[in-house]
Amino acid sequence: MNGNLLIVHGGGPTAVLNSSLYGVLKEAQKHSEIGTVYGALGGTGGVLAGNFYDFSQMRPEMLELLKQTPATIIGTSRKPLESSDYEQMIKVFKQHKIKYVLLNGGNGSMDACGKLYRAAWQEGIAVVGIPKTVDNDLSVTDHCPGFGSAARYIAQTVAEISEDVHSLPIHVCIIESMGRNAGWITAASALATSQSSCGPDLICLPEVAFHEDRFLAEVESLYQRQGCAVVVASEGLKNEDGSPVVKPVFQVGRSVYFGNVGEHLAGLVIKKLGIKARSEKPGLAGRSSILYQSPTDSHEASLAGAAACKAAVEGKTGIMIGFERLSSEPYRINLFEIPIEDVMLQERKMPEEFIAGAYGVTPEFLDWCRPLLGGPLLQFARLNKESNLI
């Protein structure tokens, strides 16, 4: 079928969301069935308003710059959708002769993708999902574009902060990482540890219940031995009863603005242990950094965009492009098509085999995660103190 193609971005931006867009645009050039390629300006809100950008206006040099442009050039949203909104979208698609719709996003976006597919399939409109989330919590797929860059950022940043803390060992540093219910990014901080760099002493995952007394005992023991400690804690850290350690500041539907977990834990250390402590919160820098963008992540994001475009042109609909891990050493993946019903709001958390005790991860997780960083972290100098002491 011939017609125009629409790309829609949803949810939080990443360092490689525009790489997926690049993959779509390059693939679309290969197919005469596709007329105009549009981008919805501002996510689903832009769809409802018919506010589109015509990518035929984009100069070739700007197209190439997409791969090194953070966030999303067409904008995104977390607009809650009603059933009537999907009906309105169909009307907009018909008005603009759109036959192919690609939704690029995470859990909420894939839920919208599935609902839009149900509304659109009888109209001859193909709807395909492109995975995207730094949280890495989409089900079925081995991993998600966006995560590899966020993992590289947290690992390198924790390595650098750890060097600082161990150089002047006078306090405890709490680093808060993104991850609402899944601890993938928090866990990736373990890759900061190597022969030439320090790493986190404790890793607090949202999948492991937080016990204040146990945490303080561990921190106090570390401080007595080292004079310092580095802790990486998820923003979604939970108590044993499942309640958040710090009450969310604001919540609408799935959109949660968490309280400052790092600041809370640092406060506990100061007040209950009498030890100097500080908190660091990379926040948006952890998902938008192009300097720490993983080359593997960018490449795979582009592949996913291209595969989604190709599938839609072939008449496939109601699917999301996923990644199958063939091997980690050497690293090899295969792209495959997942029924969208298997993905819709199915949150994927860290499995037990990747979690080691209350404050760590297993070697199996490190082997799984390492290839996604797209290469080794920066190495740091070390003194051979044993043989060079005066």
**First and final CA of the chain: distance in angstroms?**
79
CATH code: domain 3-145+291-342 is 3.40.50.450
- Domain 3-145+291-342 identical in fold to domain 152-287+351-373: yes
**Span of 78-92, 106-120, 251-265 with lowest mean pLDDT:** 251-265
> If you search the block for the tokens 């979690």, which residue do you land on?
355
- Tell me if residue 17 falls in helix, strand or coil: helix
For residue 95, which of 175, 33, 200, 3 has the smallest C-alpha distance? Answer: 3
The per-residue pLDDT for range 333-374, each reduced to its tens digit, is 999 999 999 999 899 999 999 999 999 999 999 999 999 999
Looking at residue 252, what is its pLDDT?
64
Confidence of residue 253 (pLDDT cuts 50, 70, 90): low
> If you search the block for the tokens 């219940």, which residue do you land on?
209
Distance, CA of 31 to CA of 126 (rounded, Å) = 15
| Cβ–Cβ under 8 Å, residues 338 and 320 | yes
**Averaged pLDDT for residues 256-263:** 84
Q: Residue 375 class from Cβ within 10 Å (0-12 exposed, 13-18 middle, 19+ buried)? A: exposed
**Averaged pLDDT for residues 291-317:** 98
Strands of the 331-339 sheet, one edge to the other: 52-54, 34-40, 3-9, 98-105, 126-131, 319-328, 331-339
Q: How far is CA 27 from CA 304, 312, 320, in A?
A: 11, 11, 17
Dihedral sign of CA atoms 39, 43, 47, 51 in order: negative
Q: How many other C-beta atoms lie within 10 A of the C-beta of residue 346?
A: 14
- Collect all residues with Cβ–Cβ distance below 8 Å to 371 and sequence separation of at least 6: 296, 328, 329, 331
Amino acid in position 67: K
Distance, CA of 245 to CA of 211 (rounded, Å) = 10
DSSP 34: E
pLDDT averaged over the chain?
A: 95
- Whether 297 is a known active-site residue: answer no
For residue 96, which of 2, 4, 1 has the smallest C-alpha distance? Answer: 4
DSSP 15: S
At 21, list the tokens: 């867009």
Exactly one of 135, 137, 201, 297 is catalytic; name it: 135
DSSP 378: P
| pTM of the full structure | 0.96
DSSP 353: G
Distance, CA of 337 to CA of 324 (rounded, Å) = 10
- Collect all residues with Cβ–Cβ distance below 8 Å to 143 and sequence separation of at least 6: 136, 323, 325, 372
Residue ranges covered by each domain of the chain: 3-145+291-342, 152-287+351-373
| Cβ–Cβ under 8 Å, residues 230 and 173 | yes
Looking at residue 302, what is its pLDDT?
98
In words, the CATH class of domain 152-287+351-373 is alpha beta
Confidence of residue 388 (pLDDT cuts 50, 70, 90): low
